[in-house]
Structure 1
C-alpha cells in the first residue's frame, strides 16, 4: 500500500514539474512573451587578479525601457577598488558585436573591498534602441580592471 502511495506521489510530482516547465511566462503589462532563455542571462561573473565582477541584468522583462539597468558588484580582499570609482572609463558596450557609445549613468553604492554600482545604459543610441525585438546580445566589456585586459559579460536574448 505504501509503495503504491509513493508511486502516486512521484507521478503527481513529475506531472506538476512537466506542466510548470511547459508554461511560458507572459509579461501582462506589455503583452509580450518572455523568452525562456532570457532567464539564463540575468547574471554574469568574471574573476581575475584578486578582483571579481558580478553583473546582474535587472530589467530584462521590459520591452522598451528607457535605460538598461545592470547591478555591478566588484569584490576583492586585497586590492584598492577606489581607482574604479569612475567605472565608465573602463567600460565599452557592444550590441550584436557592434561597439556603441550610449549615455551611461553610474550610481555608486558601497566602498572598500565591496562595491556595488547601478549601471544605467541609455536604451537609445543615434536614434535607435539598443535592446528591441531584433537584438541578439548586449556585451559589457570591462577593460583593465585589476590586471585583466578584458572581461566580457554577454547577455543573449
Structure 2
C-alpha cells in the first residue's frame, strides 16, 4: 500500500510539475509575443511620425490688396475620389467676402499645359462677412485628361479679380502633389 501511495504522490508531483512548466512556457511565449507586438507598434508610430505632413509648409498665401488668402490642398488630409479639393481661407477688414462666387474667379493649370476654367464648386463652411473659409472643388479629370498624373511637375490654382487684384497664384510642386490621397 505504501508503494501505491508513493507512486500516486510521485505521479501527482510529476503532473503538477508538468502543469507549471507548461504554463511557464506559455507565459514566456505570451510575454515574448507581447514584446514583439509592442516593438512593432513603436516602429509603426515612428514611421507614421516620419510620414506626418507639415500642413504649414503646404499652405499657400497671398496678401495682395485688402484680402489675405490662404489655400491648402485638402486631398492631402482627406481623400476625395472625384475632386481636387482646396481649403480656402479669406480674411479682410474692408471687403464683404460672403457674397462672392469663388467658383467663377478661379482656374487651375498643370505643368503639361492643361488649363481648367470651368466646373468648379464653392462651398462656404465657416465664418461670415470679413472672415470666411470654405472648400473649392474641381473634378480631377477635365475633357478626359487628369489634372494630376505621374508626369505632373506642378499645379497652379489662380484666383482672378478678387478685391480688384488681377491675379493670385498658388503653386504646389511634384513632391507636394505626390502626397495627395488618391
Q: If the TM-score is normalised by the length of the shorter chain, which range does it land in?
A: 0.5 to 0.7
Among 73, 92, 101, the alignment partner of 2:117 is 101
**Aligned equivalents of 2:91 and 2:79: distance in 1?**
31
- Contact 2:104–2:120 (8 Å) recurs in 1: no
**Aligned equivalents of 1:82 and 1:140: distance in 2?**
20
Runs of 5+ unmatched residues, structure 2 = 1-45, 175-182
- Contact 1:101–1:125 (8 Å) recurs in 2: no
SS of the residue corresponding to residue 63 of structure 2 reads strand
Measured against aligned partners, the alpha-carbon deviations of 1:44-81 in whole angstroms (never above 9, x if no partner) come to: 00012210110011113789842111100111012222
TM-score, structure 1 as length reference: 0.68
1:1-150 aligned at under 5 Å gives the runs 25=51, 42-60=58-76, 65-84=81-100, 86-96=101-111, 97-101=113-117, 103-109=119-125, 110-150=127-167
SS of the residue corresponding to residue 88 of structure 1 reads helix
Question: Residues 56 and 39 (structure 1 numbering): CA distance in 2 closer, same or farther, change over 3 Å?
Answer: closer
Match for residue 8 of structure 2?
none
Q: After alignment, is 50-59 or 102-111 more displaced?
A: 102-111
- Contact 1:48–1:147 (8 Å) recurs in 2: no
Runs of 5+ unmatched residues, structure 1 = 1-19, 26-33
Structure with bigger strand share is 1
Deviation at residue 151 of structure 1 after TM alignment: 0.4
SS of the residue corresponding to residue 48 of structure 1 reads coil
Question: Residues 76 and 39 (structure 1 numbering): CA distance in 2 closer, same or farther, change over 3 Å?
Answer: closer
Greater C-alpha Rg: 2
- Contact 1:92–1:140 (8 Å) recurs in 2: yes
CA root-mean-square deviation: 2.8
Deviation at residue 39 of structure 1 after TM alignment: 6.7
Match for residue 30 of structure 1?
none
